[in-house]
Amino acid sequence: MSLLTQEVEELMEKHFGFSGFREGQKEIISDVLSDHDVLGILPTGTGKSLCYQLPSLYLEGITIVVSPLISLMVDQVKQLKAKGFKRVTAINSMLDFRQKKHRINNLHHYKLIYCSPEMLQNEHFMTQITSLHISLFVVDEAHCISQWGHEFRTDYLKLNDVIKKLKYPRVLALSATATPQVQDDIVKYLERPEMKKRVYAMDRENLTFTVEHVENWQEKMERIEHILRMHPVSTMIYFSSREWCEKVCFMLKEKITNLKVAFYHGGMEPDDRLLIQQQFMNDQLDVICCTSAFGMGVDKPNVRLVIHFHLPTQKESYIQEVGRAGRDGDSSVGLVLYSKGDEQIPIHLMELELPTENQIKHVYEYVNPLQLNSIEEKQEEIISQCELSESQWKFILFQMEKFHVVQDGIISKDKEKIENAYRHTVTYKQERFSHKVQKFYELLEWVHGDECRRKTIYQSFQKGFKAPTENCCDFCGFTFNEWEPLIVTRERKVHSWMEELKEIFHQEGPDEKTI
C-alpha cells in the first residue's frame, strides 16, 4: 500500500505539479486503485477530476468519463493537454462526422476518453470500446442519475447497461452535491451495491453568506457599485439571462472605471468565451458578469466575491456557484440580492424545461399506431409540430420508452399501452414540476429565513458544519464595512502597440531595437 501511495504521489508531482492532496482525494484514489467501486461526494473546488485523472495514468487500459456537458468536457481536455497530458480526447455530438469517425476509430490511442451519455448509445462507438480494455468507468455529475438530483438526465439511467457491456470495469461515481436520497439512487441505478461511499462535508469554512433584500433592480445596481468601490476584489456576478448579464456589465463599466468588467454567457462565440475566461483566470479582469454557463471548470483560486443578481433554481446550484469563491482558503463572500418578484424568473425557467400538458397530448396523438412505424421517421416533424425543445422531447421520449410505447425505435400498436403511457407521462410531468418548485421554495425559504445562513444552507445535505474561520453570515454579524479581503493589484497602463508587442516578445530595454 505504501509503495502504491508513493508511486501515486510521484505521478501527481510529475503531471499535476503539486504534491499535497486535498481532502478526500487520496482516499478515493487509493480505493479506485485497489479495485473498489466508489461513490465520491466531494464539494466543488476540491479537485474531483483528479480522482480519476491520476488513476487513469496508473492503470493499464482506458478510463472512460461520462460527462453531461460538452463545454465541460472540452474544458477538461484543454486543461489536461495544457498540463502535458496528451492521450486524452472528448467524443461528443459537436464533432463533425469526419473528426468523430477518426477519433472513434483511433480510441486505442487514448488513455482517457470523455464522452456524453448519448455517445454510449451509439452503436459504432460501443462496438469500438467494447473491444478495448476499459479499466475504469467514471460517472461525473452522478446526481444526474436521480430524478431527485438537481439535474436529471434520462440517458444516465442507461449506464447500468453500458457497464454490463463493458464487462464490469471498476466504477467511480462523482458528484459535488447529492443528498442522502440521491446517493442511494446512484448506487441503485448503477447496480453496483458494493460501492464504497466516500462522502465529504460540503461546507467551506472561509465563506461568508449574506442576503440583502432591496426594492428593485436599480437598488441592486447601487449596492454592487457601492460594494465594489469599497472592495475592488475579483468578483463574479450571476444572472439568469444573457440580456441582463450584458446590460449590467455595460452599466458597471461606465460607473466603475478603475475596474475591468466583462460579460460571459453561452450565446458568445467559443473563441471569445475562451479569451474572457482566460483573462479572468489571469486577473486581467476584475469583475465578470455571467450566467450559469460560466464557472464549470474555472478553477480560479482568488475569487473573493460571488454576487447573485438573480436567484438560481435550487440550493444545490447556489452552493455550487458560491463555491467558486475562495478556493485558496482566504476570506470570501457570497451575496444574494433579492427583490420582491424575483421568484418569477426561476419558475418560468422551470416551466420551459418540461413539456406542457398540451404538448404531451399532441405527441401521443402523433403516435397513432395506424400511421407510424418507426419513431425516427417522424421525430423531426413531431418536434417542430409540437414546438418542443430538446429537453422536452427527451422527457416524453423517455417516458414512451419506459412504458414500452417505443421499443428499439418501433412504435407499439397497442392502443391501451399508449393511453396508459400518456396518463403516466402527464402525472410524471406534474410530479417533476412540483418537485422542482419545491426545491426552489427551499432556496427561497433560505433567502427569507431568520436564522444563521450557514446552518440553513447546508442542513439538508449533511449534519453540522465546521466552525467558520471568517465572519459567518449576515445573521451572525457580518457587514461589508468590516470585511477586509485580500486584493490583487495589477498594474494596468494603456501601452502603445509597440510597447505591447515588445512585452509579448520579451524585448526588454527601451529602444534597444530601432525600427
258 forms part of the interface with another protein (CB under 8 A): no
Side chain identity, residue 361 = K
513 forms part of the interface with another protein (CB under 8 A): yes
Number of residues that bind another protein (CB under 8 A): 31
7 forms part of the interface with another protein (CB under 8 A): no
Q: Which of 167, 416, 479, 505 binds another protein (CB under 8 A)?
A: 505
503 forms part of the interface with another protein (CB under 8 A): yes
507 forms part of the interface with another protein (CB under 8 A): yes
Give least dist CB 513 to another protein, A. Answer: 7
Q: Which stretch binds another protein (CB under 8 A): 3-11, 35-43, 215-223, 497-505?
A: 497-505
| Per-position DSSP letters for 373-426, written without gaps between them | SBHHHHHHHHHHHTT--HHHHHHHHHHHHHTTSEETTEEP--HHHHHHHHHHHH
Cell for 143? Answer: 446526481
* Helices 415-448 & 390-402 angle (0-180, nearest 10): 130
Tell me the three state secondary structure of residue 136.
strand
466 forms part of the interface with another protein (CB under 8 A): no
Site for another protein in 8-27 (CB under 8 A): 17
Nearer to another protein, 81 or 340 (CB): 81
Cell for 146? Answer: 436521480
79 forms part of the interface with another protein (CB under 8 A): yes
97 forms part of the interface with another protein (CB under 8 A): no
Cell for 481? Answer: 464595512
262 forms part of the interface with another protein (CB under 8 A): yes
Name the phi and psi angles at 134, rounded to 5.
-100, 115
284 forms part of the interface with another protein (CB under 8 A): yes
Nearer to another protein, 254 or 450 (CB): 254
Nearer to another protein, 99 or 121 (CB): 99
| Per-position DSSP letters for 194-229, written without gaps between them | TPEEEE-----TTEEEEEEEESSHHHHHHHHHHHHH
Nearer to another protein, 81 or 213 (CB): 81
**Bridge-based pairing state of the strands 62-66 and 112-115:** parallel
Q: Which stretch binds another protein (CB under 8 A): 82-90, 221-229, 316-324, 436-444?
A: 82-90
Nearer to another protein, 17 or 510 (CB): 17
For residue 387, CA distances in Å to 119, 267, 358, 379, 401 come to 25, 21, 11, 12, 21
Rg of the chain, C-alpha, whole Å: 25
Contact, 351 vs 433, CB < 8 A? yes
* Alpha-carbon span 228 to 311, nearest angstrom: 20
Q: Which stretch binds another protein (CB under 8 A): 30-38, 200-208, 365-373, 494-502?
A: 494-502
How many CA atoms lie less than 13 Å away from 249 in the CB half-sphere?
23
- Sequence length of the chain is 515
271 forms part of the interface with another protein (CB under 8 A): yes
Q: Which residues bind another protein (CB under 8 A)?
A: 17, 78-79, 82-84, 99, 262, 269, 271-272, 274-276, 278-279, 282, 284, 496-498, 500-507, 513, 515
